[in-house]
Amino acid sequence: MKKTRRLFIAASAIAPIGCGIPISRDYGIPVAAPMPMPLVRLPQIGQEWRYLERDFFSGQTRGIVVEKISSLGKTITVSRSDVHGSLLPSEIQEPYGMVISDPHWDKVLNFNPAIPLWPEKMSSNWNKQVFSKYSVSGYPQNQNEWQLYMSASGWEKITVPAGEFITLRFQNLIHYESVDNNKMNCTRSETIWFAPQIGRWVARESSGSYQVRNTIGPFLLEGSTKWELLSWT
């Protein structure tokens, strides 16, 4: 077993310590794999998804995020705004389904090489380990390690505010080098329900943990977020 794989397994076995009362997690109903296997909807200008974003720790609603494909070409730009129309940082894919600029974190992260946004094959037994480097937007000179293990766990029917969807559920387990030198053993864990028919996820749950460098303290939680689809076109 490779050292990096051992890191993923060790990180996932740790129960982080935090405070607050988390909101409920999503659970889908297992279903048979669709036949024939569905294709992911191709991108077109104007496709739009509206998400409710909440904090898992407090249950507090952070707001509604509107994501819309605004340009197609060598790169695909998914423009983002809040419900009042104020612009948020955009997501940039190159090619489709591979993200090079991801705004769904505390800071906009730029990846080189690009990393998958969803499984490259719509299969319940698909998995892949990805190695990349990332930089925080505005600081391209600072490159940090990003190790991603993606694994699909099966097809599920899930109900969100936008309706009922047949989705491929998959997990992301990330071990990364923080830009904050005081943080070590940084991990992120995500569960994502991806609906091929809309070309996007309908639910996404993300949480992270880290240790303070040069201490023997517990793992601390950070950045726990839940997104649910409100509508799509």
Buried-exposed string 100-138: b where 16+ CB fall within 10 A, e elsewhere: bbbbbeeebbbbeebbebbbeebebebeeebebebbeee
Question: How far apart are the C-alpha atoms of 100 and 90, rounded to whole Å?
Answer: 11
How far apart (Å, rounded) are the C-alpha atoms in residues 188 and 158? Answer: 23
Q: Give every CB contact of residue 174 below 8 A, 6+ residues apart in sequence.
A: 146, 147, 148, 149, 187, 188, 189, 190
Q: What are the start-end ranges of the E strands in the chain?
A: 29-30, 48-55, 61-71, 76-82, 87-93, 98-102, 109-116, 127-136, 144-160, 163-176, 183-195, 200-212, 220-232
Q: Which residues, at least 6 apart from 13, have a Cβ–Cβ distance to it below 8 Å?
A: none
Q: How many CB atoms lie within 10 A of CB 8?
A: 19
pLDDT of residue 200: 98
Query: What is the per-residue pLDDT for 25?
Result: 65
CATH number at residue 182: 2.40.360
| Beta strands at 48-55 and 220-232: parallel, antiparallel or unpaired | antiparallel
pLDDT, position 24: 62
Using H for helix, E for strand and C for coil, what is the string for 25-36? CCCCEECCCCCC
List of the chain residues with pLDDT < 70: 1-26
Nearest residue to 26 (alpha-carbon basis) of 177, 204, 145:
204
In angstroms and rounded to an integer, the radius of gyration of the C-alpha atoms of the chain is 17
How many domains does the structure of the chain reveal? 1
Coil/strand/helix, residue 87: strand
What is the domain extent for residue 116?
A: 3-232
For residue 27, the model assigns a pLDDT of: 79
Side-chain-facing half-sphere of 115: CA atoms under 13 Å: 21
The rounded distance, in Å, linking the Cα atoms of 232 and 168 is 18
Cβ-based neighbour number of residue 184 at 10 Å: 14
Return d(Cα 173, Cα 149) in angstroms, integer: 5
- Please tell me the predicted confidence (pLDDT) of residue 59: 85
Q: What is the pLDDT of residue 223?
A: 80
Task: Say if residue 44 is exposed, middle or buried (CB neighbours under 10 Å; 0-12, 13-18, 19+).
Answer: exposed
